[in-house]
Amino acid sequence: MPFQPSKFRQDLRKITRHSLFKNSVLYTLTDAINKAIPFLLLPLLTHYLVPAEYGIVSNFSVYTSVLLIFIGLSLQGAISVNYYKLSKKQLAEYISNVISITFFTAIICSVLVLIFSPQIINTLHIPVNYLLAGILIALSQSFTAINLTLWQLEEKAIKYGIYEITQTALNISLSLLFIISYSLGWRGRLDGFFIAACSYGLFSLYILYDRGYFTLSIQKAYLKDAVFFSLPLLPHSLSIWIRSGIDRIYISKLIGEAATGIYATGFQFGLLVSFITMAFNNAYVPYLFKSLSIEDEHVLKRTKLKLAKFTYLYLLLLVISCVVLIGMSILLVNNFLSAKYLESKWFIPWAILAQTFQGMYLMFVNYIYFVKKTRLLAYITFICSLLQVVLSYILIKHFGAIGAAYSTTLISFINFVAVWIYSARAYDMPWTLSH
């Protein structure tokens, strides 16, 4: 059929006016702004914080992330699954039970943190009062996650975006105020984080109550359903945390928080690749799944070949982008960051390369999701995480902080290759470019 410009414009107009497209754009913009704000403020933070202080800030971020896994238990996922199955009244009762679970897990985490506080302080160099503050932050983030999940399910992308962006803005504004005006150093950054997270957590609880999603009702069936849904996700969540957090813990313990600060600064530049690949993936997945759902075998065969060729072209563009971004990032460090952080440029190539492999991974993992053969994928993720636990320790001991960068990049490559191989077995694609 010849190309018809009028029909193309009509189809394009339908797509751009669809709520799914509009919401996807809004979520992508929200994610971009949230990632861009702290990244653009990196020159300011590195000017006012010495590497050791920035290392403590990085450690605190790692600490609150693992707390969120155990306190939140990804329970917002259970709400998503039940959103269309329950009435408004039943959903309110379900959410109330989810919130009660998060309070219970927060209490357990508080007890464990107090018991093991000497070991945690010795490793992360974070005072006990901030360790307890981290629990309140994780608890508050759990409430916010529930509120944001409901807005996503209700397709209220504007409210979602405003809430996320204003929270980030408050977090950064307070942090800069405390650091610059009150000279509080790393404490100022943590205080800004604490106030913003807890304020929005309480605000989320109020919104849930005001909208009729929060009632005082404890039901065993709902508690059981939420816990049974969430507990199997723990290993996966921990695997992801290990891949992004264990390196900083090792560096702090084996070398010192100053080295962690330098390392974390360099790895911030990996966000440049992460944003590009995630934004593209969000747009590509619906197109890919629609293309793979074609029923005509001959058309599907041609479509698969086009997808394979496009994938290789995309991988090539990623490699080129990787080289360009490494050069740009090193220039930014040399010209805009404090001289105290110049050594961070040695970590930038590895950070960007690791995220490039992650972007490549996304192009193949989607085929596994399409055929719903995710069980082995969980094993691959978990094994890669265990490998990183061992490899990071060995390489840091032998090469210093740069060893963590070697480990992260190598594991990202192994994960990418393993998923590509499994993807080829799970779903037939002409990766050899043969008909």
Together in a domain, 59 and 199: yes
Which amino acid type is present at position 226? A
Asked if 251 and 52 count as a contact pair (C-beta separation under 8 A), the reply is no
In the predicted structure, residue 7 carries a pLDDT above the cut 90: no
4 occurs within a structural domain: no
Q: What is the mean pLDDT of residues 108-118?
A: 97
**What would the pLDDT profile of 378-408 be if each residue is shown by its tens digit?**
889 889 999 999 999 999 999 999 999 999 9
- CA separation for the pair 21, 319 (Å, rounded): 28
Q: What is the pLDDT of residue 81?
A: 83
Q: Which of 190, 218, 250 is the last residue of a domain?
A: 250
142 occurs within a structural domain: yes
pLDDT interval class at 8 (50, 70, 90): very low
Which amino acid type is present at position 391? L
Choice between 25 and 169, residue whose per-residue pLDDT is larger: 169
Range with the poorest average pLDDT among 6-10, 94-98, 155-159, 312-316:
6-10
Task: Report the domain count for the chain.
Answer: 2
Nearest to 260 by CA among 60, 405, 55: 55
Token pair belonging to 188: 């100022």
In the predicted structure, residue 19 carries a pLDDT above the cut 60: no
Together in a domain, 274 and 243: no
Q: What is the pLDDT of residue 359?
A: 94
Together in a domain, 146 and 242: yes
Choice between 133 and 158, residue whose per-residue pLDDT is larger: 133
Asked if 237 and 74 count as a contact pair (C-beta separation under 8 A), the reply is yes
Choice between 205 and 12, residue whose per-residue pLDDT is larger: 205
Asked if 382 and 356 count as a contact pair (C-beta separation under 8 A), the reply is no
Q: What is the pLDDT of residue 10?
A: 60
The phi-psi region of residue 186 (left if phi > 0; otherwise alpha if psi is between -120 and 50; otherwise beta) is alpha
Q: Which residue has the tokens 């990244």?
A: 39
Choice between 347 and 15, residue whose per-residue pLDDT is larger: 347
Together in a domain, 225 and 331: no
In the predicted structure, residue 35 carries a pLDDT above the cut 80: no
Together in a domain, 186 and 317: no
Q: What is the pLDDT of residue 416?
A: 96
Asked if 160 and 27 count as a contact pair (C-beta separation under 8 A), the reply is yes
Choice between 267 and 6, residue whose per-residue pLDDT is larger: 267
- CA separation for the pair 132, 109 (Å, rounded): 9
Q: Which of 202, 223, 250 is the last residue of a domain?
A: 250
For 148, what's the count of Cα atoms within 13 Å in the CB-facing half-sphere? 19
Token pair belonging to 290: 């629609």
Distance separating the N- and C-terminal Cα atoms of the chain: 22
Together in a domain, 242 and 373: no
- CA separation for the pair 135, 137 (Å, rounded): 5
Q: What is the pLDDT of residue 166?
A: 93
**What would the pLDDT profile of 293-320 be if each residue is shown by its tens digit?**
888 888 899 999 999 999 999 999 999 9
14 occurs within a structural domain: no
Choice between 231 and 189, residue whose per-residue pLDDT is larger: 189
261 occurs within a structural domain: no
In the predicted structure, residue 282 carries a pLDDT above the cut 90: no
Together in a domain, 243 and 281: no
Together in a domain, 125 and 205: yes
Q: What is the pLDDT of residue 276?
A: 83
Three-class SS of the chain: CCCCHHHHHHHHHHHHHCHHHHHHHHHHHHHHHHHHHHHHCHHHHHHHCCHHHHHHHHHHHHHHHHHHHHHHCCHHHHHHHHCCCCCHHHHHHHHHHHHHHHHHHHHHHHHHHHHCHHHHHHHHCCCHHHHHHHHHHHHHHHHHHHHHHHHHHCCCHHHHHHHHHHHHHHHHHHHHHHHHHCCCCHHHHHHHHHHHHHHHHHHHHHHHHHCCCCCCCCCHHHHHHHHHHHHHHHHHHHHHHHHHHHHHHHHHHHCCHHHHHHHHHHHHCCHHHHHHHHHHHHHHHHHHHHHHCCCCHHHHHHHHHHHHHHHHHHHHHHHHHHHHHHHHHHHHHHHHCCHHHHHHHHCHHHHHHHHHHHHHHHHHHHHHHHCCCCHHHHHHHHHHHHHHHHHHHHHHHHHCCHHHHHHHHHHHHHHHHHHHHHHHHHCCCCCCCCC
- CA separation for the pair 210, 38 (Å, rounded): 32
pLDDT interval class at 20 (50, 70, 90): low
Nearest to 282 by CA among 18, 28, 11, 14: 28
Range with the poorest average pLDDT among 126-130, 287-291, 407-411, 421-425:
287-291
401 occurs within a structural domain: yes
Together in a domain, 284 and 236: no
In the predicted structure, residue 91 carries a pLDDT above the cut 60: yes
Mean pLDDT of the chain: 89
- CA separation for the pair 289, 73 (Å, rounded): 29
Nearest to 332 by CA among 39, 26, 11, 20: 39
Together in a domain, 64 and 124: yes
- Structural domain that includes position 215: 19-250
257 occurs within a structural domain: no
352 occurs within a structural domain: yes
- CA separation for the pair 141, 137 (Å, rounded): 6
Degrees to nearest 5, angle at CA 396 with 390 and 398: 105
Together in a domain, 239 and 360: no
In the predicted structure, residue 171 carries a pLDDT above the cut 80: yes
pLDDT interval class at 1 (50, 70, 90): very low
**b/e per residue, 207-227, with b = 16+ CB within 10 A?**
bbeeeebbeeeeeeebbebbb
pLDDT interval class at 193 (50, 70, 90): very high
Main-chain dihedrals φ then ψ at residue 28, nearest 5 degrees: -65, -45
Choice between 155 and 434, residue whose per-residue pLDDT is larger: 155
Q: What is the pLDDT of residue 5?
A: 54
166 occurs within a structural domain: yes
Entry pTM: 0.87
Together in a domain, 150 and 287: no
Q: What is the pLDDT of residue 24?
A: 64
